[in-house]
């Protein structure tokens, strides 16, 4: 198991039990704390998992159009864009996009797990010490969006099995349910870095819609997508699907949280020997 995966798992477990501990301090039993938090996460995941079966006609049309555009990329322009952008270094792409790569390169060096853990920890810690409920809500939404997006992304990668650009097998080579040895080579669609970046940045943009937060957040996510293409880890359609997935999951979670705001509140807790936050349902 990668060290980054271990780090994110330990940090998320720590945050989970910090919330439980704070709830037990407020008079709730540990058993009820587990049930309440587990019920919220399960309910949110179930809502997202069943959303495709509950689409309105408008959403169905948008999804169909989105799928058609990506099919066009897969069968039409993915290979040409990969060639122009990374292999030949076409002047148009270099002039307009290469200067946007550094933030994405920084994100890649950290990895989605470490970046998400740091972001979640920053908001959770700030919420506790500053007694800021919105920061705590944001940390919870960041955690949920990361976990759900990561799971859906992993399922997509395994079932689709698209070859990465560096394999030089073309944009239409697939090997679903590949062997462990082939894991990285056929892990292209959707882009995990891009989906996790857009999930996190969408949460921030929705929670803090000020221009000086929203625009840099989405710029970072876009830079991540460009970096994955520049590194020949993903085709254009991979990062578009990954970005759309992360954005959709995060927006669904934020909207659900807002609709339930009267039914659940986050209260920071800071004492001599204990700290955390209470989630009231």
Average pLDDT over residues 223-241: 95
Q: What is the mean pLDDT of the chain?
A: 81
Query: Which residues are paired to 278 by β-bridges?
Result: 267
- Predicted local distance difference test score (pLDDT) of residue 10: 53
pLDDT in tens, 128-141: 888 888 998 899 89
* Model pLDDT, residue 21: 45
Q: What is the pLDDT of residue 209?
A: 95
Mean pLDDT across the stretch 110-129? Answer: 90
pLDDT of residue 54: 87
Is pLDDT above 50 for 23?
no
Q: By percentage, how much of the chain surpasses pLDDT 70?
A: 73
Which residue, among 268, 236, 14, has the nearest Cα to 137 in the 3D structure? 268
The per-residue pLDDT for range 65-91, each reduced to its tens digit, is 999 999 999 998 999 888 887 766 656
Q: Which of 245, 257, 250, 260 is nearest to 52 (CA)?
A: 245
């Amino acid at each position: 198991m990668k060290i980054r995966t271990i780090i994110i798992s330990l940090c998320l477990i720590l945050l989970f039990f910090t919330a439980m501990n704070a709830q037990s301090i407020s008079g709730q039993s540990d058993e009820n704390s587990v049930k309440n938090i587990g019920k919220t996460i399960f309910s949110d995941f179930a809502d997202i998992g069943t959303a495709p079966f509950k689409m309105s006609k408008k959403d169905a049309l948008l999804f169909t159009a989105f799928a058609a555009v990506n099919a066009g990329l897969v069968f039409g322009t993915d290979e040409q864009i990969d060639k122009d952008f990374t292999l030949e270094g076409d002047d148009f792409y270099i002039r307009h996009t290469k200067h946007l790569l550094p933030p994405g390169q920084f994100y890649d060096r950290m990895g989605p797990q470490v970046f998400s853990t740091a972001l979640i920890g920053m908001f959770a810690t700030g919420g506790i010490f500053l007694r800021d409920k919105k920061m705590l809500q944001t940390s919870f939404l960041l955690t949920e969006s990361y976990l759900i997006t990561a799971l859906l992304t992993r399922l997509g990668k395994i079932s689709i099995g698209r070859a990465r650009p560096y394999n030089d097998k073309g944009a239409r080579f697939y090997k679903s349910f590949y062997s462990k040895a082939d894991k990285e080579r056929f892990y292209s669609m959707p882009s995990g870095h891009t989906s996790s970046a857009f999930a996190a940045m969408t949460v921030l943009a929705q929670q803090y819609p000020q221009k000086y937060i929203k625009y840099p957040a989405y710029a970072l996510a876009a830079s991540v997508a460009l970096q994955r293409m520049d590194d020949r880890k993903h085709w254009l359609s991979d990062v578009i699907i990954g970005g759309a997935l992360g954005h959709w999951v995060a927006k669904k979670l934020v909207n659900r949280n807002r609709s339930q705001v009267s039914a659940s509140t986050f209260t920071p807790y800071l004492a001599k020997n204990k700290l955390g936050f209470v989630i009231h349902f």
